[in-house]
Amino acid sequence: MQSSNPDIYAIGDCSSKHQFTHMAGTQAQMVVENANFKGDRRVSELVVPRCTYTIPEVAGTGSSEAELVEQGVEYDTFTASLEHNDRAILEGGDVGFCKILVKKGTSQILGATIVAETAGDFISEITLSMQAGVGLDTIGRVIHPYPCLLYTSDAADEEDSVDLGGRRIIKKKKKNIKR
């Protein structure tokens, strides 16, 4: 945001790979803070959500699988379909999924993709968790109102699922290995 000239700042599309209105607004806030209050907030410290407003919506945050493979990061993939989600069924929006990537062998969230009618609304919980350093295991212990789209209790086999706070919530689809 601060250019090579300490008196000139840039925000928005010209200064970031994240070309979203919400990112430009955040950058503007950071520039004001940094310029007027001798702050040192940096865009690189942010987890930036993204959403394409289609039907269904496609939202993501953090790293994609392709980025993790390119970086040589080992990760586990957890995916939950909306086809058995009671709220999605009631509202006729049971097409979609939530996929969360975690650092291999841990609950540290590295990225997520959600495809659902309101994916842009509930990607924020995962973005907040990543920004605050909260793991997938902690999200699993949060009580969500029922029925809600975030409650994705798949009917999965014991060996194919992960226990999050006493519930089998997200089916473990595959393990990725370092390539």
pLDDT band at 114 (very low <50, low <70, confident <90, very high): very high
Round to whole Å and give the CA distance between 133 and 109.
8
Question: For 134-175, what is each residue's pLDDT tens digit?
Answer: 998 888 888 878 777 665 544 434 444 554 443 444 445 444
Identify the burial level of 38 via C-beta atoms within 10 angstroms of its C-beta, where 0-12 means exposed, 13-18 middle and 19 or more buried.
exposed
Q: Residues 9, 15, 20, 23: is their CA dihedral positive or negative?
A: negative
Phi (first) and psi of residue 67, to 5 degrees? -65, -40
Entry pTM = 0.72
Using DSSP bridges, classify how beta strands 167-175 and 97-103 pair: parallel, antiparallel or unpaired: unpaired
